[in-house]
């Protein structure tokens, strides 16, 4: 898969991919159908693993040539050593986790850097939905309140505070809408929050 193909398929992943260095050792948590790892392997010569729990997604990953481990992220990442990966990805999956703080701490342990994305609950249509007395439904939050797999909702400011608490330094924070960066009022106008992080160095 080349960059143009990834851009057409998933504009958000195409933007995020530029943060991953060539030939990196990558762990993709909640890798879904494996499209990101397929691109990183074929176009950027990265190596690594995906972690996914969905039975239906595992054969899709295998068909793409992605090494995937079927595992519930809530059970932790004890199978991986400290600093085992150059980059840990957790893209649009963290909001489905109950133990967000624990998973972030594990990400900080096993990776030198991390890239995390999640739907921005402060996106202006979401705010209007709440103002009207309804839970928001959008491209990045496509479920009704009663059948959603999402169990955590966060804004850009919320996540930055938690990242600092678990020992992660924010290197870059970008709000995306339709795969493109939003620079003016990002916490209002960005539907997807993307953070590039690394471990804090001891003082």
pTM for the predicted model, two decimal places: 0.92
143 token code pair: 């479920």
* DSSP symbols for 77-98: -TTS-TT-EEEEEEES-GGG-S
| pLDDT at residue number 203 | 59
Sequence-distant (6+) residues with CB within 8 A of 80 are 27, 110
| pLDDT at residue number 1 | 81
Number of other CB atoms surrounding residue 41 within 10 Å? 19
Per-residue pLDDT in tens (0 to 9) along the chain, 203 residues: 888 888 888 989 999 999 999 999 999 999 999 999 999 999 999 999 999 999 999 999 999 999 999 999 988 889 999 999 999 999 999 999 999 999 999 999 999 999 999 999 999 889 999 888 988 888 878 888 888 888 888 999 899 999 988 889 999 999 999 889 998 999 899 999 999 999 887 65
| pLDDT at residue number 113 | 95
Number of other CB atoms surrounding residue 130 within 10 Å? 12
- Compute the half-sphere exposure of residue 142: CA atoms within 13 Å on the CB side of its CA: 3
| pLDDT at residue number 13 | 93
| Residues 182/176, Cβ–Cβ less than 8 Å | yes
């Amino acid at each position: 898969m080349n960059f143009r193909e990834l851009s057409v398929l998933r504009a958000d992943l195409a933007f995020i991919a530029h943060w991953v260095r060539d030939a990196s050792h990558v762990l993709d948590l909640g890798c879904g159908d494996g499209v990101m790892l397929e691109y990183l392997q074929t176009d950027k010569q990265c190596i690594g693993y995906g972690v996914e729990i969905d039975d239906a997604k595992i054969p899709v990953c295998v068909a793409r040539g992605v090494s995937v481990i079927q595992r519930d992220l809530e059970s932790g990442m004890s199978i991986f050593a400290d600093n085992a990966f150059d980059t840990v990805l957790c893209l649009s999956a963290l909001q489905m986790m109950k133990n967000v703080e624990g998973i972030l701490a594990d990400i900080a342990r096993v990776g030198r850097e991390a890239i995390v994305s999640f739907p921005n609950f402060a996106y202006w249509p979401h705010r209007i939905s709440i103002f009207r007395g309804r839970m928001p439904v959008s491209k990045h939050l496509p479920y009704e309140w009663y059948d959603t797999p999402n169990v955590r909702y966060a804004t850009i400011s919320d996540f930055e505070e938690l990242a600092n608490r678990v020992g992660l330094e924010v290197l870059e924070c970008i709000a995306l809408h339709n795969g493109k960066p939003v620079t003016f009022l990002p916490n209002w106008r960005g539907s997807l929050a993307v953070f590039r992080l690394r471990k804090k160095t001891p003082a």
